[in-house]
Amino acid sequence: MRFDPSRLGIRHQLLGLFGLFLVTGGLVLALDEVGEYYTQRSMSAMKDDVLAGMRSIRRLSDAYSQDVVDSTFRTRNYLIGWDEGLETVERARATAAAEWDALQAMSLQGEDHALLQQALEERGRADRAAAKLSEVLDARDIRALGRFADGELYPAVDPLVERLAAVAAGVSFAKTLITEPGNIIYPESFVERVKAKVEPLGIKVTVLDEKDLKKLGAGSMLGVAQGSVRPPRLLALEWNGTGNADATPLALVGKGVTFDTGGISLKPGPGMEDMKWDMGGAGAVAGIMVALAGRKAKARVVGVCGLVENMPDGNAQRPGDVVTSLSGQTVEVLNTDAEGRLVLNDCLTWTQANYKPKVILDFATLTGAIIISLAHQYAGVFSNSDTLWGNLDRAGKSVNDLVWRQPLSEIGGHYDQMIDSPIADMKNLGPREGGSITAAQFLQRYVNEGVEWAHIDIAGAVWRPKAGALHDKGATGFGVRLVDKFVSDHFES
């Protein structure tokens, strides 16, 4: 008898796709590695994870749930036999039981003990499903397996599926925004598209128009926008799942140049059509916010998008102009095609003034130089914090949004001196060499003392010339999975 995919309910077709997404994307451990994972983890390390907020326990629950999903669908789809399916789920039950027994034996008291009990209850759903699945597989009854998949499997792993669905929705939304042409997505339409998507999710939306930006004194961002008939916008998205209105937020800032001709410093014609995705940083931030709100992340996160169009015009900014940024620092504009940093700097200043974050991540398709350095496989990260860099690196490896650290000087250091100007506080372009570094040095001058900050140059990662495991040719949705994992590991209790 051949398997007919149409017999699967919609939920379970989606579940199968999410299972594939998990395995290929690295959100949980692959089936073949589960036993090795449980064996290698030390009890002391596991106890540290429990005390840090059950993050490892959640990974165990998700991995266990995925084993149950994988065994069910591979057997039902005749990809593996009954014996192999039964062996897989029994192995998962045995390894999980040993690990969880060890956790229960720990001498945890008070709040730590309560956290452990909560985690054990969460894990129980997957355990009951695994026991039932073992009975069905042992009976070799395909109809019973179908009933199990349709009626009992989904409730057992429902939280896992809902989380993945939210992340997938965020990735899809980012890819859609980035793929749209410049006559469809421009500052005003970006705002309307995002508002329609995020407001039903409970995200608070704040929009500053050109008049607001002039009143504030955001001369750097306005200078970029002045050559276009499309007025600029600053879009702020706020999600708070903590229940505490005063919780310190994680801040995300995205470059949103909806089309970049280079301005008066005009780009070459061939390939200019690709500059529709120069708003990839803002697209990533919007997608991240959709993912976090969609899964009701227990964190406060703010996403700020600086939206402009960079065009040549009789009113356009000229090379040699000097603008005053929102921070009060002046910038000599040597090249109007180094415009992204002139948008991000005012957004960084506004974000810090209004939300007082302790951690900021900015996303930008900032330099072609980062593509020369890293091609399309990695995004470049420039950070003033070793800890923040390490956390991003681990999150990226776990979900296959890969990042690679680049050098950065302190203020006044060698690389920083390369953007000093004789007539202003700084210039917007350094020498030909080290282009990605000097762009990051420019942004660092707008980061307040004591704030942990990472600039993530996604120029190569946001758009791929060839399809990959998690994306087709074109927009990748880079950054959504990365920040979802980063928030889960470091901003949720």
Known catalytic residues? Answer: 267, 341
Q: 169-203: b or e for each residue (b if 16 or more CB lie within 10 Å)?
A: bbbbbbbbbbebebeebbbbbbbebbeebbeebeb
Tokens for 134, please give them. Answer: 């073992």
C-alpha dist (Å) from residue 402 to 18, 286, 389, 426: 21, 20, 12, 32
Closest CA to 144 of 64, 63, 67, 85: 85
Helix or strand (DSSP H, E) at 17: helix 10-25
Closest CA to 299 of 240, 237, 359, 360: 240
SS3 324: strand
Q: Tell me, rounded to whole angstroms, the distance of Cα 199 from its chain centroid.
A: 19
C-alpha span between 71 and 84 (Å, rounded): 9
SS3 81: coil
Termini Cα distance of the chain: 48
Amino acid sitting at position 19: G
Q: What is the DSSP letter of 266?
A: P
Tokens for 207, please give them. Answer: 């929009």
Region of 296 on the Ramachandran plot (φ > 0 left; ψ -120 to 50 alpha; else beta) = left
Helix or strand (DSSP H, E) at 113: helix 110-139
Closest CA to 251 of 94, 428, 114, 388: 388
